[in-house]
Amino acid sequence: MAWEELPMGASGWYYTVDYQADIGAALQRLRRDVYERGEYYKEQPGEDLDMTEAEFRASLGEPAEDDDGQYEFLLEEWLERKSRPVPVDPDTLLAAQAESGTHSIIDMGNGVSAGPQFATVSPLTGEGLIHAFGTETPSSEQVQRWIVGCGDRERWVGTYVVSYRDGAPHQLHFCGFSGD
């Protein structure tokens, strides 16, 4: 696994696992493994989350007549952060960090899709494989060189590529950009 910071806070990430025909199962296992290893961005909870609502309101002071709703905005934002689930698995972690994401494969919580979609991984197929590798059956070495840049997909979208050895599927390579 590796990741790198990108402009505007996103991170690029990539992983390689042994091939299995069920891409969805491979993705879910990888998300779980990354969660268990702690290889993801962890939001630091603010000290204000240890406060009661009364203490937080007191810390804000009285709303000013011309605050343009800032008091209510800050209170609502604090209540939302306070109500987030305590992470116990990749999905609850993602729910707890929905805005910032985890900057990892964990952010691909919507599974596998046929084409690029938000929070999914989809295959690099046909023309994309030929363009990237000159073949539809790239070797692991070819994919490893390409995967650092992960093609031209947008943030919060993942890609997977099957690499081959001796004409048979050998490994799955996942990459993407996520986080904020």
pLDDT of residue 19: 98
Map the chain to HEC letters.
CEEEECHHHCEEEEEEEECCCCHHHHHHHHHHHHHHHCCCCCCCCCHHHHCCHHHHHHHHCCCCCCCCCHHHHHHHHHHHHHCCCCCCCHHHHHHHCCCCCCCCHHHCCCCECCCCCCCCEEECCHHHHHHHHCCCCCCHHHHHHHHCCCCCCCCCEEEEEEEEECCEEEEEEEEEEECC
Find the range with the poorest average confidence among 63-72, 89-98, 124-133: 63-72
- Among 5-9, 144-148, 153-157, the least confident range: 5-9
For residue range 8-43, list pLDDT tens digits in order.
567 899 999 999 999 999 999 999 999 999 999 988
